[in-house]
Chains A and B, each alone.
Chain A
Amino acid sequence: AQTVTQSQPEMSVQEAETVTLSCTYDTSESDYYLFWYKQPPSRQMILVIRQEAYKQQNATENRFSVNFQKAAKSFSLKISDSQLGDAAMYFCAYRSVGNTPLVFGKGTRLSVIA
């Protein structure tokens, strides 16, 4: 079975600075998808960024980018120019190929300091 580990329960960053959230996973599959979700206090899970394992190029979405290291099974999220609205729980998630359920890490609570 696949597992996802987020080793940082809490992180903080100064507004306008850059922060990196860590995620590692364990799988024997060669093709899969990786995601970062944001969960603000409203509880609504919002997809931040996704990465297909067969793509070597790291995904980027505006201020959000990932460092995908397939051999190391690492998938970190970098948030540049942090904003107050970035404060939330961030979850790393894994999904096998196909319409299968997501496997989540336990999350990292990000605080943004003005």
Chain B
Amino acid sequence: GAGVSQSPSNKVTEKGKDVELRCDPISGHTALYWYRQSLGQGLEFLIYFQGNSAPDKSGLPSDRFSAERTGGSVSTLTIQRTQQEDSAVYLCASSFGGLGNEQFFGPGTRLTVL
């Protein structure tokens, strides 16, 4: 596709369950970012992948959060033992490597933890 895609669009889960959120970046983009947007808040950085380098995990809020990027393309964000405070919109973005390149965002996954 032409843009960044994310699935599912919406996810409702019960507290304590694990969830996986998927991001398909734009073809050829080497950088991939995950952000979280909680109600009434701006976007909060979670994790960043650049090519084959080790990911920058400095934004992950707890060890229940993890992410991987397979083959330098698709990325999966996993939240284990979900809590109600994990409810948010999770946005993925991708960009070309290099200085100042624009990040293109996907439509996000709205996660609701009951």
- Using CB atoms and an 8 Å cutoff, list the residues of chain A in contact with chain B: 4, 6, 33, 37, 42-47, 50, 52, 91, 93, 95, 97-107
Whose C-beta in chain A lies nearest to the C-beta of B6? A43
Chain B contacts to A: CB under 8 angstroms: 31, 33, 35, 40-45, 48, 50, 56, 59, 89, 91, 93, 95, 97-103, 105-108, 110
19 intermolecular pairs with C-beta atoms under 8 Å apart:
A43-B91, A44-B108, A45-B93, A45-B105, A91-B42, A91-B43, A97-B100, A99-B31, A99-B95, A99-B99, A99-B101, A100-B48, A101-B45, A101-B48, A101-B56, A103-B45, A104-B44, A106-B42, A107-B42
CB < 8 Å: which of A45, A47, A52, A100 contacts B91? A45
Contact call B50/A99, Cβ cutoff below 8 A: yes
10 additional A-B pairs beyond A52-B100, A101-B45, A102-B45, beta carbons within 8 Å, are A44-B105, A93-B43, A97-B100, A100-B48, A101-B56, A101-B59, A102-B35, A104-B44, A105-B42, A107-B42
B67 CB → nearest A CB, Å: 13
> B89 — which chain A residues lie within 8 A by C-beta?
43
Nearest-neighbour CB distance to chain A for B37, whole angstroms, equals: 8
Q: Which residues of B contact A107 (CB under 8 A)?
A: 42
**Chain B hits for A91, CB < 8 A:** 42-43
B22 vs chain A, min Cβ distance (A):
16
